[in-house]
Amino acid sequence: MTINQLSIFVENKAGALGEITHILAQENIDIRAMSIADTKDFGILRLIVSDEEKAKKALQQNDCIVSITEVVGVAISDEPGSLSRVMELLYTNGINVEYMYAFITISKQYAYVVVRVEDNNKAMKILETNGVKLVDKEDIKNL
């Protein structure tokens, strides 16, 4: 099962990011994980939040461009080499990673990582058959 990520367009200008976090704060939205891709002109803010539909609505009402993207959440054991193993599994099976980032919150046992690939189902199947634990929407809620 995939998890939902909010993707938000951020214009490259002062205060743009602050406006977005302000809207989320007002709506009482909890941010679980985040990453920013930036180019010279614009950025894309990617968030895993407590309530993505509510967040999307609030942002759109404030003229933000938002989309919800399905991404794969991977729980890797918090020890050296586990991320490397996941990457190797994806690579050897011909799956390219568009981008990835880690969760801010970590459980005692696992580190959560968001992975964006072309074919979610294929990636999830490979990871699961190789014993990698996936993060689902319930896990996110329970963070």
Q: Under the rule (CB under 8 A), what is the footprint of another protein?
A: 5, 7, 9-11, 16, 37, 39, 41-42, 44, 46, 63-65, 67, 69, 98-99, 116
Q: Closer to another protein by CB, 67 or 107: give it.
A: 67
Backbone angles phi, psi at 28, to 5 degrees: 60, 40
Helix ranges (H only) for 40-136 are: 52-61, 82-92, 120-129
Contact yes or no for 105/48 (Cβ under 8 A):
no
Q: Closer to another protein by CB, 12 or 84: give it.
A: 12
Closest CA to 72 of 143, 141, 139, 136: 136
Q: Closer to another protein by CB, 62 or 130: give it.
A: 62
**CB of residue 19 to another protein, shortest distance in Å:** 9
**CB of residue 107 to another protein, shortest distance in Å:** 26
Q: Closer to another protein by CB, 63 or 138: give it.
A: 63
- Those residues with Cβ within 8 angstroms of residue 39's Cβ, 6 or more apart along the chain or in another chain: 12
